[in-house]
């Protein structure tokens, strides 16, 4: 057996296991390094069009510059021009992406190689709520999602992975728990 | 005074007031037309990369085809390649976009011309939660946002608009209320 054959794998699911281990060690020994602060500035572009920008984030008190733009609009039937996904679709994408990252990353930590992974989320609302036309909630009470996974693991391990993501996904937490939203109105 | 000068405006903030009025009338007379169902399918693309797709939505039982793609990733320090915004940033963009639409649309209904409108949202979490390293919540307990608005309206009218959006924005509702997330795991 060659030296290479007995070495531990250094990556799993595209993640560096060394980087994962280093981060775990760092945030465990100094919890102040574990604070991640995100910010998004969104600007109205007429009718239902919005342009949202990320210019950076903070990790462990350090500012890290990044540049990303997220466009949104509404479908034509809901007063937009359908130039981009709408806010509810962005929300579903945010939920799915967070959980998918959770499955892939936790699987890597468990030594499970994921071959295919997708999530489809669905939900409906009554637009009379948001329009203030009826005493119905403005949003969805329930969202359904289906996780499809193909991985080199037992059904038991995959159910354990599934339970872990349900417990630990940040955006799943944000939707299943009431978050305090603190507004400030500035009239210019 | 010419005929044009005494006509009511037909658009406000880029919205057709006729279309707004028609929709209000339709969903009020037949509430089944008010049901909007959204769906997003997200696929893992290796490590932290996710590609989310919208292929359509349903309004009042009618399927309407649309095509949109939303990319996400994580910053390099959080095991990604920073190719796109991360899931928490998508969530903030979803919140901001929904509220901005609310301000612009409700303002149009109130006859208020908006000149400039932006929202910046911020929040932080302890990554030890999502990594399962400490008994801390995986997500944020609080998010702060600042709405900046310049419009042809009194401060009193703008505060009324602000209250209305807080009460009626779907994505604000989704974050401030616990939503039931119903998962289905399919092992392939």
Position B9 scores a pLDDT of 80
Return the residue in A49, A136, A153, A170 with the most chain B beta carbons within 10 A, the one to mutate for interface testing: A170
B118 contacts A38? CB cut-off 8 A:
no
For A6, residues 6+ apart whose C-beta sits below 8 A from its C-beta are none
A84 contacts B68? CB cut-off 8 A:
yes
Give the residue carrying structure tokens 């572009």: A45
Which positions in chain A touch B126 (Cβ < 8 Å)?
Answer: 31, 34-36
To the nearest whole Å, the CA of B7 is away from the closest chain A CA by 21
Position B4 scores a pLDDT of 53
Three-class HEC string of chain A = CCHHHHCCCCEECCEEHHHHHHHHHHHHHCHHHHEEEEEEEEEECCCCCEEEEEEEEEECCEEEEEEEEEEECCCHHHCCCCCCCCHHHHHHHHHHHHHHHHHHHHHHHHCCCEEEEEEEEEEEEEHHHHCCCCCCCCCCCEEEEEEEEEECCCHHHHHHHHHHHHHHCHHHHHHHCCCEEEEEEEEC
B168 contacts A175? CB cut-off 8 A:
no
Position A6 scores a pLDDT of 61
Position B2 scores a pLDDT of 53
Return the residue in A33, A66, A101 with the most chain B beta carbons within 10 A, the one to mutate for interface testing: A101
Task: State the count of interchain CB pairs (< 8 A) between A and B.
Answer: 457
Position A2 scores a pLDDT of 53
To the nearest whole Å, the CA of A156 is away from the closest chain B CA by 10
Confidence bin at B8 (pLDDT 50/70/90): confident
Return the residue in A12, A90, A128 with the most chain B beta carbons within 10 A, the one to mutate for interface testing: A90
Give the residue carrying structure tokens 């006509």: B7
pLDDT tens-place string over residues B60-77: 999 999 999 999 999 999
To the nearest whole Å, the CA of A116 is away from the closest chain B CA by 7
Position B6 scores a pLDDT of 61
A173 contacts B176? CB cut-off 8 A:
no
Confidence bin at B5 (pLDDT 50/70/90): low
- Does pTM top 0.90 for this prediction? yes
pLDDT tens-place string over residues B9-19: 899 999 999 99
pLDDT tens-place string over residues B81-90: 999 999 999 9
From A37, A132, A175, residue closest to B179, measured CB to CB:
A175
The residues of chain A scoring below 70 in pLDDT are 1-6
From A88, A104, A158, residue closest to B38, measured CB to CB:
A88
Closest-CA residue in chain B for A95? B87
Average pLDDT, stretch B135-158?
Answer: 98
Let me know if B57 is exposed, middle or buried by CB neighbors in 10 A (0-12, 13-18, 19+).
Answer: buried
Closest-CA residue in chain B for A94? B87
């Amino acid at each position: 057996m060659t030296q290479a054959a007995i070495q531990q794998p250094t990556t799993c699911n595209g993640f560096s296991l060394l980087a994962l281990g280093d981060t775990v060690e760092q945030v465990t020994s100094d919890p102040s390094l574990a604070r991640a602060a995100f910010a998004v500035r969104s600007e109205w572009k007429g009718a239902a069009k919005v342009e949202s920008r990320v210019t950076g984030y903070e990790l462990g008190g350090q500012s890290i510059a990044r540049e990303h733009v997220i466009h949104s609009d509404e479908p034509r039937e809901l007063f937009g021009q359908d130039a981009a996904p709408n806010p509810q679709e962005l929300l579903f994408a945010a939920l799915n992406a967070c959980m998918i990252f959770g499955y892939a990353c936790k699987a890597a930590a468990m030594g499970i190689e994921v071959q295919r992974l997708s999530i489809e989320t669905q939900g409906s609302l009554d637009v009379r709520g948001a329009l203030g036309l009826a005493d119905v909630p403005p949003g969805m009470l329930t969202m359904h999602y289906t996780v499809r996974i193909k991985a080199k693991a037992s059904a038991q391990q995959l159910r354990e992975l599934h339970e872990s993501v349900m417990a630990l996904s940040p955006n799943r937490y944000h939707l299943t728990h009431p978050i305090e939203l603190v507004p400030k109105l500035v009239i210019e």
